[in-house]
Structure 1
Amino acid sequence: MQAHNVVDLGPYLHSFGDTGRAYEQLDLFISIDTGAAHLAGALNRPVWVLLSQACDHRWYDCRRYTPWYASMRLYRQERLGDWSVPLADMSAELAQLAAAKRA
């Protein structure tokens, strides 16, 4: 994790309040469908969520965005168990964000 400058904040997060305060320091939070992702969306923090092809029906079908959280972008599997497409899409968009931030 050190080679990629990844910091494990787990030992410092004791409540959703702690987690919410940590989100204030992030440019982007990437997650799966978890309470932490919902918290980021509810706090209007930028969050990208990977969804299984068999995700909960409340995420609707074939949508990139959700009416629940304006700051959330969804990346969906096209085939159950195959993460190649959503991860490739996410990687490409992350590269675009990084390039824009450098410019």
Structure 2
Amino acid sequence: MTLVVALDHCKEQIRAFLGSNFYISDMGALSDDTSLLDHGIIDSTGVLEVVGFIETTFDITVDDSEILPENLDSIQGIGHYVVRKISSAADA
């Protein structure tokens, strides 16, 4: 699977998770780079739910030092983070 396909697949799963676990009035208006925190879609507890989802769904471990807005504040950021983690685990 190429990284582009993997990223698109990750983003689809992330979008589905967000849509079924958080209140989003208009999923169609939620772009990949929308800040989930700034738009009130997730809060600090929601971040932990997202971390749990990532760890369970993609079988990776999210280190405390990686719980950063650039990794977890948008669908795009989460997708890139997951692909990086999976790629680095595959290279190890």
TM-score (norm 1): 0.29
Higher relative contact order (CA 8 A, sep 6+): 2
**Higher normalized helix content (fraction of residues):** 2
